Amino acid sequence: MMKIVLVAGARPNFMKIAPLSNELQKRGIGCTIVHTGQHYDDTMSKTFFKDLQLPQPDIYLGVGSGTHAEQTGKIMIEFERVCLQLKPDLVIVVGDVNSTVACALAAAKLCIPVAHVEAGLRSFDRSMPEEINRILTDHISDYLFTTCEDANKNLRKEGIPSSKIFFVGNVMIDTLKRFFDLARESDILDKLGLKKDGKLSKYAVLTLHRPSNVDQKDVLKGIFSALNRLSKKIPVIFPAHPRTLERIKSFALDNMVTYVGKFSRNDLKKSKKNVWVMPPLGYIDFLNLMSHASVVLTDSGGIQEETTILGIPCLTLRDNTERPITVREGTNIVVGNDPERILSASFDILENGPHGKKIPKFWDGKAADRIVEVLTARFMT
């Protein structure tokens, strides 16, 4: 029997391993889920396993936080022990976080085949740690599963043989399609007072966590200044990453937002600022919130993809994107973190709606099925 280790470490990974775990289970293929603990609190990790109906991790490494080198090193040490104990036939890694490259390196050095799901994405900005992770992981992987033709071209330009590249589609969209109906039953809009007597208020959703946006006071303050002006027209709902919350407090920018604890309507009624900061949401609640937004502002790659499928206008607060297909075919616009550009694009969307609405090829909810087909053909014949 084929033995597969499926690795996840951070919030974006969980949506990607869920359809793979489900498809492997359906086919009776052995799968050990390893959670590295890169994201380790309940709101960033445990809640997602419940929402996505994932089995609890078979192995939890508990590496926690640290610098990039510390975290990557800890994961490599702990994951090497897992590989030596389990002796898997294949290690599957997803995305571009530190857990991705660390586990791929540990496996490759033990001559264990590695499959990288979401391979070939490039921002061409090596100041992003994720870009380094993507490049390294791709060049030591044996199976590179891509989401779009752009990724295929990037890999071929870097000299990776076509025999290793498999265009299968987007597993993130598998998860979205599977849970969309369940997300519609979420009561998050009622809790936030955005839905009253069956009528939905207009609002924006914000996610923000990248160092380029949150690690410099002037940059973060500028973003919030734009959002405060936007919030005079519609409220801005901000489920905040713990790291971003720390920056808001350390930079003394609390006066630019309103903290919402347990989604109390009374808190919102009393708020002087319409930028509502709250703890991270689970997948189901966030999907519901995002699917009804007038506009989503983000520096997340996955949200660029999800808004494309949902047809929701997305403003990416970065100077580049590793997912250009979401700009070319989807609803995404790259605006950077300049306050005036953010505000101008937001007002344009509120007045004119999304600029595009095309579904990329193979973003159809069947990517995990294609991935497992490739693996079974290679390993079981």
105, burial (CB in 10 Å: exposed 0-12, middle 13-18, buried 19+):
buried
Three-state SS string over 239-281 comes to ECCHHHHHHHHHCCCHHHCEECCCCCHHHHHHCCCCEEEECCC
Mean pLDDT, residues 41-55 taken together: 78
pLDDT at 164: 98
For residue 141, being part of any structural domain is answered with: yes
Residue 216 shares a structural domain with residue 245: yes
199-212: per-residue pLDDT in tens?
Answer: 899 999 999 999 99
* Residues designated as active site: 209
Residue type, 108: A
pLDDT 10s digits, 130-185: 999 999 999 999 999 999 999 999 999 999 999 999 999 999 999 999 999 999 99
In order of 206, 220, 222, the CA distances from 337 in angstroms are 13, 9, 8
In a domain, 175, yes or no: no
Whether 347 and 295 share a structural domain: yes
Do 261 and 212 belong to one domain? yes
Query: Domains in the chain: how many in total?
Result: 2
User: Are both 192 and 118 inside the same structural domain?
Assistant: no
Quote the pLDDT of residue 193.
Answer: 87
pLDDT greater than 70 at residue 381? no
pLDDT (0 to 100) of residue 197: 78
CA-closest candidate to residue 91, choices 18, 164, 8, 16 = 8
**Domain span including residue 192:** 181-352
CATH of the domain at 370: 3.40.50.2000
Q: Are residues 224 and 106 in the same domain?
A: no
Which is higher by pLDDT, 39 or 2?
Answer: 2
Residue 269 confidence (pLDDT): 52
